[in-house]
Chains A and B, each alone.
Chain A
């Protein structure tokens, strides 16, 4: 598969189809795989980890439950790829951190413990961390898990506003169709279809998920929407 600059691509597929594994291979978290991952024709496995981290950020699904860091400290982690071990934060980096926190609307929560924040607030902290990391590419693993509809929309529109080339694992097919430009569907570790969101076919979803379904267009922007016949 290939992703064009500035595109937002959804990785969809049944549980265990290899979405997270593929994301981990692209992000350098998993190195024992066959094939090649390239960023602008540069092989990722030949890049230094720090160099990769300067260009590619990863929005994680899991964080330790008892993480004893404040929201601001988590945001500051995004600077690590740009700092030497002894490096101190420059004045402009401190301003960047404040601006990133302001941009995601977390000013009043910056000093709060990360573990005490709600799911939506945690995602906003991690997006602020991503802003600070200044990447060109972004990987997201289930960014809307456990979020209500309002927060799903907020999170994804915030990510879209960053204008990064993004690959996101998304379980909710309709969310993927509503937000992403391109859909890549995996099953059993292989790409089943790879096409623009406007060109997906109902029979492909039916075959991959073993369901009865039809596609129509949602009334607001005319984007494709999947309607599923639920078994009684």
Chain B
């Protein structure tokens, strides 16, 4: 099939959402306790949507509704949000290597979480500490970049500086922490969808929907940013204000996610590249595509994390980093092959 054929298929919202829904249902059926796909359908339709009979006390229903479904939905939302943030950051910085973690948001979240775990007297929850840490990172980036915060180079340099600075503080805190705290922190820093309940889904979902609506509203302005700040300004766009606003929104979205599921690298970097190959560069198709494909990717990465080893779960960040590194090596090889054949 040629490239335009592939792009036509993946640009179809119906096709993508069908794959997404099917992926979620299949992922719910996979786990240490065998559940058939039919059981998943029956439970989701009966108990979830009220379209059939439902026995809430049945163990299988409880596993599906209370354990697996919220976990897989948060995986989907995390993948969607990280991929969307990555696509927006790569667009507004015109830098294909930009992702939410380049700007120190994850480093800030990790520092906040470590401090909450180490300094128990603070009395904050882990996710609240992580959220405050992420916000601190954003404030520091904007503070360091100062009046040059609208310029790409200043933003990226400030982001890298803040990321390293906060990571070093986290390392100091970990070095002086109790070994139990270190173990749980390491697991959290590599990302985990464990212990996620329905109550954890509300904030990330709302944040994702609001951010997506804003990004779609300004997608034409973002396209103009791709063509340069001068051209954007001459079209009536305040390029610097737009860039800072979108950075803050992606940072807040990532902070909400990181505070719930920890640091999951490579998704925000890799998925926008995959989506450009599958869908193309047009932002009004690329951004929704990143939401769905990012979600699907994370659902299956979580399935691998849960099932790769028989007796334990792997942190999700290990799986995404492994797939991510493989993807970029393949991309590199493909480019080398293309330039050889020209």
A80 touches B217 (CB 8 A): no
Q: Given A63-B231, A64-B226, A69-B281, are A54 and B218 also a contact pair (CB < 8 Å)? A: no
B262 to chain A minimum Cβ distance, whole angstroms, is 32
Which of A45-53, A95-103, A150-158, A159-167 is the contact stretch?
Answer: A45-53
Cβ-based interface call for A68 (8 A): yes
| A-B contacts, CB under 8 A, total | 71
Please indicate the chain B residues that have their CB under 8 angstroms from the CB of A49 in the complex.
233, 236-238
Return the chain A residue nearest B235 by Cβ: A80
Q: Known: A69-B281, A85-B221. Is A64-B227 also a contact (CB below 8 A)?
A: yes
B335 in the interface (beta carbon within 8 A): no
Interface residues on chain B, size class:
20 to 34
Q: Does B94 contact A (CB under 8 A)?
A: yes
CB pair B226 A80 closer than 8 Å: no
How far apart are the CA atoms of A66 and B281 in the complex, in Å?
12
Taking CB atoms, residues of chain A closer than 8 Å to B237 are: 49, 80
Known contacts A50-B236, A52-B236, A80-B236; A60/B221 CB under 8 A: no
A58 to B276, CA, bound (A): 30
Bound Cα distance from A69 to B280, whole angstroms: 10
Determine if A60 and B226 form an interchain contact, defined as CB atoms under 8 angstroms apart.
no
Evaluate contact between A62 and B228: CB separation under 8 angstroms. yes
Interface string of B271-295 (1 = CB under 8 A from A): 0000010000110000000000000
Interface residues on A, range: 20 to 34
- How many angstroms between the C-alpha atoms of A49 and B227 in the bound complex? 18
Q: Determine how close the nearest CB of chain A comes to the CB of B224; give it in whole angstroms.
A: 5
Provided the pairs A68-B281, A80-B224, A83-B220 are in contact, do residues A60 and B236 lie with their beta carbons within 8 angstroms?
Answer: no
Contacts of A58 in B (CB 8 A): 230-231, 234
Please, which residues of chain A bring their CB within 8 A of the CB of B94?
Answer: 64, 66
Contacting residues of chain B (230-255) with chain A, CB-CB under 8 angstroms: 230-231, 233-238
- The answer to whether A77 touches B228 (Cβ under 8 A) is no
Closest B residue to A74 using CB positions: B227
Tell me whether B223 is interfacial, beta carbon within 8 Å: yes
Interface residues of A in 185-230 (CB under 8 A from B): none
9 nearest CB pairs, A to B: A53-B236, A50-B236, A58-B234, A49-B236, A68-B281, A80-B235, A85-B217, A81-B236, A53-B235
Q: Could you list 11 further interchain pairs (A-B, Cβ under 8 angstroms) beyond the known A49-B238, A54-B236? A: A29-B230, A49-B236, A56-B234, A58-B231, A67-B227, A73-B223, A73-B282, A80-B220, A80-B235, A81-B236, A85-B220
